[in-house]
Structures are given as C-alpha cells and as structure tokens.
A and B are shown apart, each in its own frame.
Chain A
Amino acid sequence: MSGKNSVPSDFASYYLQQATKELAEDLDKVRGADDFKGDALPLLIKALQQGTALFSPADQQRIVEAGKKQTTPNADDDTSSSRSSSTGSDEEQ
C-alpha cells in the first residue's frame, strides 16, 4: 500500500533512464552544442521527464509493477511475506 504513492516517481525515474538510453547519441550531441550552458542541463532533464505525461496513471502503475516483478525473482515469495506480516508478527518471534 505504501508503495502506491511512489508510482509516479518510480515511473519518472524509469522513464528518464529509458529515455537517456534511447537517445544517448543525440544527448551527447546536445551536450556539445554551443548554447549548452547554465540551466541547459536541468532544462534537458525536465524536457525528457515531461514525457511521463503521455502515460495514464494506470499504465504507469502497470509498468512500474512489471519492473518490480522482474526484480523480485519469485513473485510468490513477495505476496506470502506480505500476508504473513498482516496476520501478525507472533509467528516470526
């Protein structure tokens, strides 16, 4: 439940990462441009991240959760641990 709020930020960081990967070549070129100074870097990051607006909250959640599934090798473990924590901590002692 607590993870719910972090979906937008999780997604934003994934988006940025993916966008940087896809556009690596162009980003290098931009960094070499004459006018790349001052605020240019934060502006560039902001520009990239704006794209998250193209994804509905439901899609964002879908993608973030798919990513989480990937990182936890066994999805069943994940759910069972959350269950046990809700049934009480007595068992764990």
Chain B
Amino acid sequence: MKRKRILGGAEPANPDQVDTTRPPKRKRNVVHEAPTSEEVYSARQLRQLLTFEQDLRKSRHGLQSFKDLLDGIYNEAGEKDEAKMEIVVQFLDMTKPRAAEAETEDEAPVYLADIMEAWSMASQMSNENVMSAVAVVLALLLKLISAHVELVPSGLGIARTILQRRQQELLAKNLSADKGKDFIISPTLRLLREVICLDGGALALPAFRARTYTLKSLARNMGLRFLGDGIEDPKRPSVRTNAVRVFLSCVKFIHVEAKRDLLSQKDLVAALMRSLRDDPPYLIFEVLNTLRSSVVLDQKLSKDVKIRLLNSQSLARIASLYTYKHQQSAEEDSQSVAQAAHDFLVAACTSPSAGIIRSQNGYYPDGLDPDVLLNAQSDGAGLLGLESVSWIDSFVDEVPVRNTLLSDFIQTLRPWSSLKQNELLVAILSACPELIANYFANKKSFSFDPKLSATWIGYSTLLFNTIRLDIPQFFGHSKKYARLPPPTAVVLGNILPLPLELKALSKCLSQKSNLVSFFAVRILVISLEKLSTALDMHRKASNASDTMWQDASRRLIDEFCRRVPSIKEVITAYRALSEDDLLQRVAASRLLVLYHDVIPQAALGAKFDFSPVLSAAIKRFESARGNGEEASLRLLELENLFTVAKYSPSMKWFARSDKSQASPFITLLSLYTDNSQGFATPNVQRILGFIAEEHELVIRLSKVTGLRPLLLALRTLPDVDPGIWTFLDNCSDRCARSPVKYQELISELVVENSKDGDGAVEDALSPLLMTMVEQLPFFVSSTTDKKSLVNMADFLSNYLGYTKAAGGSKKLLKAVLDKLSSALGDSKARKHLSILDQTTFPDEMDIDQVPQQKVMASQDDENARLSEEQLQEVLAVPITISKDNSALVKWTSKSPEELVEEGYTASVVWLLASEHPSIRKEALTSVIKIAAKIKESSYEESEQVWLLLSELIETVRHSDGATIPNSLLAFVCRALDVLKVPTHCLYPKLNTFLTRGPVWDLEKIPLVQDILQEGPTEDDAYYTELSWLFNYLLDSLRTTEDVGLFHKRKVFERLFALNSNPYMGPNLRIQTLKIIYRVSSIEGGSDTLITRFGVISWLESQKAVSGSDAGLCSTAKKCLMPTDGADIREPLAPKVSPLADVNMSAPASSSSTASPPSFEIREELIPEDTSFITAAFDSCVAHLAAVDCAGMWGTQPFSEKDGFADSVRDDMVVASERFRNSGSTGEAVEDKVRTFITEARVGSGADAGDGLDDSGLHYRVSDDGGITVRYLQVGAVVVHLDWFPHYIESQAGFAALVGKAKEARSQGAPSVYIEVMVSDFRVGHARRGVGTALMGRVREFAAEQGAKTLFVDSWSGKGGRLVRYYESLGFVAVDDFLVERKNKDPWPGKLLRMDLL
C-alpha cells in the first residue's frame, strides 16, 4: 500500500505529471518543500480535503492528494482503477454548481469553486507551489474527462470556469511566471491545451478570444526550449514543447477568421520556427502535420494568410531539417524528419492553393506584356521584326520573377548533395517554370567544369532533370500564343541552363573519364530534343502578319549553336568509345542524329565522311556476340548511324568496302528485310526510301516505281538467297552510277510498247528494275546452282507482282517479264517466273503488320485515331466491274491471252446478269464464242478456261431463263484469275471442282465448302485461299437475292466463325468486315444481318477481341444500325445507305439507289417545337456519347438540365415567332433570332397520327387541302442576326472580327450567326441530308436579310470531326478558342465563317 507518497520519486511516472510540482534540481534558489498528501477513499473525503481554507498548506495537501488519486487512475488498471474513477465521478457530481444558484446570481456557474479560490489566493500570495499544483490537478482532471464521454459536460463546465475573467487573469499570471519557473508554466500550458482541445475544440474560440490572457507570453514560452545535450526526454517535455502544442491546438481548432488573426502574429510564427531544428522528432512531426492539414491544405484560408506562416524564414527553417542532426529513436523510424520536411515542402511549394506559388507567365519574365509592342510606332514595328522589341535580348543575367519568395528560397537549397533537395528543387521548377532561368542566372557560383566528384554528378543530375521539364503551354502565356515570342535568353536558359556553356561542355566531351563525357552527351541529347520541341512551338505560334516568331527561332538556334560543342567534338568523343560501351555509343550516335535533325547548319558544316564510321559499326554488328539486349543496343546505334549517314553528302552508299560483304545500302536493306530484331522501323524504311530516291534508283514519291514494291517483295520471301543480295548489290551500284542510262532504257521500252497509242507512261518502271532486267543474263550465266535461279525467279515474280498491285502498267510489266524470261532461258526457273497476283498492296503502315505482331501493338493507336470517315473509306468497296454493254463488242478483237488476262471475258460474263433478257442472250452467245476461241488457241491454259466457261454455259442453259446468281458469275471471274496462274494455290481445288460435273447448282456457292471445310492444298496457303474466297464473296453480293442465297447457304455463320480464329491477319479481318459492309448497303441486308445473325453483338465481341480494327467494327456497327434496333422496322427509313449516320456529309456509297428524303422547311413555329428541339438535343447527347464525343455536350440529357426547356421555348421558339411576325406587327425586336424546323412528309390520310409515336419521335399532322398529312420532325437550326455569343465576344482574339462585323452592320451588311443546328438522331436514315437542307434555308435567310457573312462555332475536340463537317458545308475556319469552365477543362472550339456573295 502506498501511503503518503512523495512525488518526484524514482518510480516511472506519467509524462504529464512528473516534472511539474518540483522544479528542476538545478534551481537551487527555490526553497523546496515537499508537499504532503493522503490517500483518498471517497468523494466526500476528497471534497473535504479540497475545501478552501486560508491555510494554503492545507490546500496544497488536498491538491496533492487529488493528484495522487488522478495519477492512480492513469497508472493502475483493474478494479482499483474503477474504484478511483468512481470517486472522481462522484466528486464531480457533488461539486457541480446547482442550476438554481446560477440563475439567481445571474453569473456564470463556477465549477470546483474551492480549487479556484485556492488558486486565486495562492496567486495573491505568490505561493508558487499551489499555483503550480492547481494547474497540474486541473490539467490532469480535464485530460481524464476528455477520455470519458459521459463526463464531458462537467469538463466543459470546468473549462468554462477556467475561461472566466477571474481565472483568465490567474492563467496569465501563471504563464508569465519567470523564465526558470518551468514547474508553473508547463502545467498551465498543458491545462490550456486541454481546455482548447476539450470536446473537439468546443471552447477553442472563447479561449482564443481571451488571448490577451490565455496566450500571454506564448512567444516567449515557445522560446524556452530544452537546453541540455541531445534532445529532450519525451517524458519531460520542455516549456517550448508544451507551448508549441498550445499553439498547434489553436491552429487546429479555431475557425478561419481567428486563424488569420493568430497567424498574423509575427512573433508567434517566428518563435514557432526558430528552434525547429533542435526539437525532438515527435514535436516536428506534430508541427508539420498540423501546419499541413490546417494551414497548407485549408482551402478556406486565404493565400495571404498562409504566406504569413510560410514565409521565407519558415521555409528556410523547415529546409534546415533536411540535415536534422539528432538521432531518431527506433519506434519513430516509420518516417524520418528529413522525409517529413521534404513532403511538407513539396506540398507547400508546388501546390497552387498553398499560397506560396504566385501565378506566373512561364518563359515571359515578370513585367512583360508580350501582346503589346512597346515601340511607339507600333505599326512599323511588325516590319522591323524582332529588332524593334527592346527586351528580346535582355534577361541574360537577371530574370525578374513574380515568385520572389520561392526564388530566394531555392537559392538556399543544396541540390547537388541531397537527393531530396534535388527532388524538391525540380518539383518547384516544374510547378513554377519562370524560376528555371532565374535560378541558374542567380546561381553564378555553379560551374559545370568537369570533375569526377559526387558534387559534379549531383549537379549534372539537377541539370538533366531541369532540362527534361516540359515547356509550359504557349510558353506560359495564357490561353494562346502571345504576339511576341519570349526572350531568347530565357528560352535558352530553359533548354540549356547557363552553366552549360561551350567551354565546360567541350571539356566534358574531351574528358578521359567516360562517365563525365557520357553525362554531358546525355544532357546534350535531351537539350536538343527540347530545342526541337521549342522550335516546333515557335512554328505553331508564328502568324502570317510578321516574322517575330520566325526571327526568334533563328536567334534561338544561333545562340544555341554558340553554346554547344561543334559536331567534330561529338564525333571525336564517339570515336573514343570502346566497343563495349554500348549505352554510350547509343547516346553519342543519337546525339549525332539530333545535331543533324535539329541544328543541321551546325552539323553539316563539318563535312564529315560517315562511311568509315558506318562500315565499322556494321562490321561490329555482324561480328558481335552478346545477349539479346546488347544486340538490340547495337542495332539502335546502327540505326542512328544510318540516319546520320543519310545526311552525309559524301556517304558512299553503294560502294563495297573490303571489310564488309555488302554495300551499306544493301546491308541496311537486308537488316530491314530480316527484321529478326525489330529493325524494320518506319524510320529505317524512310532512310531506305530516301537513299534510293536520292540516287535515282527509284522515282521519288511514286507508288509504282518507289521502293515499296521491292521492300514488299523481299519481305514476302521466306528467306532471301545470298545470290539475290549480291545481285541487288551489283544492280543498285550500277544504277546509282548511271541512272540516266537506265531511264533511257525505260523510255525505249515504253516506246516499243505503246504502238496501240497508249502513249508514254510517266514513271513507268523504276530504274532499279530496269537494271535488273539488264543484269539478269549475267547473273544467269554466272550461276550454276539451279536453286538460286529458282529463288531469283520467285523474287522477281514477287517484285513484278507488287509493282503491278501498286498500279503499274500491265503491258510494260509483261514486256519486262518477257525480257526476264528470255534471260532465264529454258531453265526450270523460268516456270517460276510470272507476275504474281498480289491482290493487296498494303499501305505505308501495313507493311510491318503482316510479319510482325509486335509492331501491330503500336499501330493500334494509329488506327484508333483514324476518323470514322476514313474508316468507312476502308470498308466501302464499290462494285467495280461495271455492266458495260460494250463489252459484247470489245472482246472480238482481242487475243485469247488478253481475253483471260485483261478481264475481257470477265466483263462479258457479268453481262449474264443483266436485267435485259436480250443482253443476257447476247452475252451467252459471246461467252460460247469466247470459249471456242480460247479452246482453239495455243493459250497455255486453254483447256481449263474452256472447261470453266463451258460449265457456265451449260448452267445457264439449264436454268430455264432464271437469273444466274451473281455468286456464280463472281466465281467464274475469280476462277479465271486462278486458272491463268497454274502455281496458284487454288488451282488444284478449282480443277477438282470443274471435273465434278458439267452443270452447277444455282442454289450453291461454289468452292466455299472446299476452302472452308477442307484443309489447304498447299501447307501455308490457307490464308491465301481465304483471301481469294473473301474477294469472290464480296463480288457476289449485289442484290437482295444474293443476300438470300448467302443466308440459305449459311455463309454468314461461317464468316463470323472464321473471325474468331486468332491467327487471322488484320487484312483478312478487314475483308470480312467489307463483306458485312457490302451487305448493309443492299436493301434488306442490314435487317437480315441484325435479325438473323445477331451481327451487332458479333461486332461488339470482335471489337473487344481484336484491338487493331476495333474502330472498324464500331463503324461498321453504326452503319448497320444508325440508332437502335427498333429502327429497322421503321418503314420510312431507306435502309440502302450505310453512310447516313456519323457524318451527314459523307459521300453516299456507290451502290445507293435511294434518293434522300425531301425535306420541307417549316417557318411557323408551334408550341410542340419546344419539346421536339429539346428531344433533338437529347438525342445528340446520346449519339455524341456513343461516338466518344461526350466532351462536346457532356452526358447529361439537356431535358434534365434546369431551365433548358424554358430557354428553348423563350429564346428559340417564342423569340423566333416574335421576330418573324415583327414585319407585320411593326414591333421592334431586339433578339433577331429565327428557328427553322425541317420535317419529312411520311404519310397521309388515315394512318396519320399526331404528336409522339411509340418510339418517342415527333410528328406533326397538318391538313393539306382536306387530306391529313403527317410530318416527321427531323431537325432544327437557330440563327441570329447581328449577334455573337458571349463566349465569342469575350475572346480577346476575336475582338477585331466582332468589331468588323459591327462596323459592317452599321453599313447595312449584317452577319448571321448559327447558334445551333441539331437533328433528331433517333429518326435514323431519315436524317440524311437534313444538314444540307437546313443550311440551304440559312443561306436563303441570310440573303433575305442582306447578310454577307455566316458564322458558326463548332466543338473542335476529337480531332475536329465536327469542324470538318462544317467545312464540308462551305465554312472556313477562323481560329480556335477555349471557353473556360468552372471545375472543368476548357471547352475547345473553333469559329468558322462563310462569306456569301
């Protein structure tokens, strides 16, 4: 049992109780008298003990006993604890002032009156022991109470009592005790903190209001820090710690206004920060966390208040924590002080709402207005160019900024030696770009002189990170490019910060140390990349009126070149690298590329011959061994060198050095063809094309005679024979040496083959091909290996095939083929030589898709970015073979070869499907004659062709006059293509089919089964067979009957199933989509696909599965189903046009036969128009969301927006009627607005209903001369006379334009503004042409009003699709604008105009 415990013993005590009643030992002058106490057993006893008496010693005894009791509750747990707690509860209840008392005395109730009395008396008598004891006991009591919710009312009573005036004075006296009297000050501060924090800060505000007393001497007290060695014991917090906690709890709990008052007290802020560095970690965390959550992140607190706390001194003090010297104890290691300080500073210095950052203009120094020409004669200034701008060359040594606070602060950081400070600085520079140039201009002591030290490395890290920062949009000018470019020195200071000057950089490059030169090279690389971006921005910003921006970019380049080492130094550094320095080689070679790309004037001056460098690199590449990564790096280096060599005029592309086996050109070509390491990048392709064009191997910009057919041919071959490379090497060398010779040969060939009067064909053949023709005989004579010859023949066949597919003249190619054949003589190889039928000629990008899955991934984006119109172009295949009756005559004069190979037979065959019986008859006769003619001829494949045609003839004869399905005709035509090339993979299958029987079943589609069900005849030919089949099926689809037949023969099911084959290439997939697209263009086709085959969900799944043609799938879907499923039952919708949606201006498919519905324009508006226009808006929202254009009008239906319908009624419907009638009423109308409605007549008489129908579409019924007529409401346009929307008028950029329009108006030439043009997307195809119809009326209206100009604005998001639509209507873009919106990204728009004659 503890009795009469003496306080201050060695026992472990609660941190809050220990230090207080007894002063520290070193204060010897204080007479210390140990207090007495006794154990408390009941509340009554406690009350007795605390009863106020004049004898303060007794008071002290009572207080000490109470304190022991409270300590007991903290230190002991279990039953005893509860018993003690019970005593406290009873005591509080007993001493609670009675309500009656308070009322009668008209004074606030006083809790614990006895204690307060004792306190007051002690204070008067200056009995410090009791003064301290009261504070200790009250603080402990409140602390206990705040942990027990049920006691809080009593606690609030006590706290309020403490905040009464009498007690405030006592508090103040305690707080302002002498410096050494920690034992009084500390408990009082703790008491104060408990009062402020009690019940979630309920009394914080009253406590703060009484700050003259409650916060008395707070600043001084915050300065009374622990003075011993190391840091203070957390169990014995110093006065400072307690005082800081009082301050923090105020900051935490008082409201904004009070917080402003508090933070405005400079002495407090200064006292808080002054000795932060010496504070214990836990206090620092408290300070930083509270300041962050209650000041920095407090949105309500204004910036100017925050800045009072976060002033430059505070920032410096917090930054000093980066080097916090005290050790942290183990349990606190969750976060280091340095890290906490770092997080705080990053948040405070980079978040715009934190108050430190001030708005700034990026690369434009403070005080400049780049939209204003300073020169007085501003008219002439434009002509004088940049010279007239006085400040353009200033700001070299000094860059004024708005963020002076940050500018000063960052100078104090040590980014070269501390990672975190490095990060902080970069974060600040990134958030506040104006500081970049400023920082380096001020930091003169920096020098980049190379030195292999940690400081130099830290420093180069900083420079690297700084250069990597993005250039702010518009160089920091708001919303658009300014009239004048930013000062050259500032831009350069961002691209190549000052310490990077010529001397230092040159020294770095010539350093022996690889690390130093490597780092310098890397910095130069990103610097040049940034320069390139900056120059691009200059280009974008430049306008036609003057050359300011062009001048600026020239200056920039000049200045830049003056500061970077010459390319010779770079080359020297590159050459000094050892063979295994792969990263360094890649970086240095990349730098060489950038020199040529970005600052060619500096690069080309060197006149360096890259041939030896390149051949050395090729040799290294070929002989190198290493892991995959190393090989890739070598390849990258090589690619860079090839790019550089491209620029080098003295490069010998075709010369074969002794060391390497082939010329550089052929090496590059073979690397490209091989592509095992991903060398086939578009960049390499460009280089190859460039070299070939430069040396006139091929014709520039020509599809037929360009390099692509050759590249395709080489890529098609599974393996390129070494002989072919040698041959190509030889040919390219010869051709490059005397291109004229081969061009003459081509001319001769053209002349020889133009007897029929075809005329000479420009760029008929590539000189390289001609060289091959000339050289082949030598190759044949020198080659004994038959296999090589066969390979050569294969290669040439492919080459010819691709040339033909690219659109080459058949006749000339035939001539070339003849020459090549004769060169091959009678060898086996000759049989392999032909013009291969390359049905597809992939576009620029496709070339890499086929062999390499990997490249496709990067092209997905490419595809996704295509506009839908383009996608539709991909899918729409017009029915090419025309039913030209003249074919019946033409064929007679042709030779059998021509009949088969030039398609004359095919055109006659197609006439068998003519709608005129006489023509069909005639065609049949012709086919019979053709068959006979071919059979008798010496044509190689005469037998097979005759058989095919005869079976066709028999089938027609057996059909008893029924029309022959297009599928059979398409089959015959496609079969002819197979028969003329015996090596075709389908040749065997076709012959098997032909020998099956003399007559074909009209109900069957030939060969579908054979191709889809049976395996391919040749192993790798499955996909070739499929491709042939798809083309033939596509040709077959022409009429509803064809769709029916496909349906019956289950072709669609098979097609759909095929697409789930993951190995099917993108081209084949597109072919199936083309078929679907074609079906949708046939009447009833969409219905069949949607209702019978669920094509919509199929397309959905395709979209999900195949990344690359997802866009195509969704487009195809839209063609099939313009609105929703219900639409296909809508009788009025002409289903023939697949293109009606998405874009009204898209050209109709060639197969479309229905004319667009004729619209009527209604002038007179009716009340129902309000709901129609609102509904039309809603349908647009849904449609825009579906085509991924929600950025235009959001996703919320307009009908759900407050007041929208009202504004439609008032501003569009009623206002329009008012203006329309103003002529007759004579009323002066201010809003000259007109709304026109387009409607389509859809029925009359009995079936005409009114208003809405089931689908929600709007109809109007009118009485037309006794007949009821029903009109479908389709679209509306709202136009204004002499009006601009406020978001246009308020744009500074349009001020001149608006002004001009006003001027024109005063001269009697008003302008018309199209406010909005909408159509109801739910009506489906009936929308077609609505835009044109509305525009027609708008033009009329403009003419009626004498207007000369039409304006419209358009959303310019999503690549400006809508803008293009308006352009298709005849509008011309004026300029872009941005509409700022609250809490949203700005709305991008474009203003367009149309000048009327």
Contacts and interface: CB of A to CB of B under 8 A. Distances in A.
Interface of A: 14-15, 18-19, 22-23, 25-27, 29-30, 33-40, 42-44, 46-47, 50-51, 53-55, 58-59, 61-71
A19 B516 CA distance: 13
B629 A29 contact: no
6 contacts: A23-B515, A35-B454, A47-B457, A47-B464, A54-B522, A67-B632
B419 A46 contact: yes
Contact of B583 (A51, A58, A66): A51
Given A15-B583, A22-B581, A27 B515 contact: yes
Contacts of B515: 23, 26-27, 30
A44 B454 contact: yes
Given A39-B418, A40-B458, A22 B465 contact: no
A50 B454 contact: no
A58 B628 CA distance: 16
Given A53-B526, A67-B627, A70-B629, A22 B582 contact: yes
A53 B586 CA distance: 13
A68 B628 contact: yes
Interface string B248-286: 000000000000000000000000000000000000000
A63 B629 contact: yes
B519 A47 contact: yes
A23 B514 contact: yes
Contact of B453 (A34, A54, A55, A70): A34
Nearest to A60: B632
B633 interface: yes
B858 interface: yes
Contacts of A66: 628-629, 631-632, 677-678
Interface string B391-423: 000000000000000000000000001111010
Interface in B552-586: 580-584, 586
B629 A54 contact: no
Contacts of B308: none
B452 A40 contact: no
The 7 residue pairs across chains A and B that have the minimum distance between CB atoms:
A66-B628, A70-B628, A26-B515, A40-B454, A66-B632, A67-B629, A47-B461
A38 B417 contact: yes
Given A58-B858, A63-B629, 9 more contacts: A18-B629, A23-B514, A26-B516, A43-B458, A44-B454, A62-B632, A66-B632, A67-B632, A68-B628
Nearest to A63: B632
B1314 interface: no
A19 B583 contact: yes
Interface of B: 417-420, 422, 452-455, 457-458, 460-461, 464-465, 468, 513-516, 518-519, 522, 525-526, 580-584, 586-587, 590, 627-629, 631-633, 636, 677-678, 681, 854, 858
Nearest to B678: A62
Contact of B633 (A26, A29, A50, A63): A63
B452 A47 contact: no
Given A50-B522, A62-B678, A44 B457 contact: yes
A13 B631 CA distance: 17
A87 B498 CA distance: 60
A18 B582 contact: yes
Nearest to B581: A22
Dominant secondary structure at the A interface: helix
Contacts of A70: 627-629
Contacts of A37: 454
Contacts of B586: 54-55
Contacts of A34: 453
Nearest to A36: B454
A50 B468 CA distance: 10
A40 B416 CA distance: 9
B1375 to A, nearest CB: 33
Nearest to B590: A54
A32 B417 CA distance: 16
Nearest to B338: A39
Contact of B417 (A23, A39, A50, A51): A39
Contacts of A46: 419, 422, 461
A60 B704 CA distance: 35
A78 B677 CA distance: 17
A24 to B, nearest CB: 10
A38 B454 CA distance: 10
A42 B854 CA distance: 36
A51 B587 contact: yes
A45 B877 CA distance: 58
A40 B633 contact: no
A67 B626 CA distance: 10
Given A19-B583, A27-B515, A47 B458 contact: yes
Give the residue among B453, B461, B583 with the most A Cβ atoms within 10 A.
B583
Nearest to A47: B461
A54 to B, nearest CB: 6
Nearest to A69: B628
Contacts of B468: 53
A39 to B, nearest CB: 5
Given A43-B422, A63-B632, A22 B454 contact: no
Contact of A29 (B513, B580, B677): B513
A11 B514 CA distance: 22
Contacts of A55: 586
A13 to B, nearest CB: 11
Give the residue among A25, A38, A51 with the most B Cβ atoms within 10 A.
A51
Given A23-B515, A62-B678, A65-B854, A43 B632 contact: no
Nearest to B515: A26
Contacts of A23: 514-515, 518
A39 B422 CA distance: 11
A55 to B, nearest CB: 8
A45 to B, nearest CB: 9
A42 B420 CA distance: 10
Nearest to B519: A47
Contacts of A33: 452-454
B227 to A, nearest CB: 28
A66 B631 CA distance: 8
B464 A50 contact: yes
A64 B678 CA distance: 12
A29 B580 CA distance: 20
A91 B628 CA distance: 33
B683 to A, nearest CB: 10
A88 to B, nearest CB: 14
Nearest to B518: A23
Contacts of B627: 67, 70
Give the residue among B453, B580, B582 with the most A Cβ atoms within 10 A.
B453
B592 to A, nearest CB: 13
B450 to A, nearest CB: 11
Nearest to B525: A54
A36 B513 CA distance: 17
Given A33-B454, A43-B419, A66-B677, A22 B583 contact: yes
Contacts of A38: 417-418
A59 to B, nearest CB: 6
A58 to B, nearest CB: 6
B461 A30 contact: no
Contacts of A30: 452-454, 457, 515
Contact of A26 (B418, B454, B514): B514
Contact of A18 (B452, B453, B461, B583): B583
Contacts of B632: 59, 62-63, 66-67
A40 B678 CA distance: 38
Contacts of A14: 629
A18 B628 CA distance: 13
Contacts of A69: 628
B452 A29 contact: yes
Give the residue among A58, A59, A63 with the most B Cβ atoms within 10 A.
A63
A75 to B, nearest CB: 10
A68 B678 CA distance: 14
A50 B457 CA distance: 12
Contacts of B581: 22
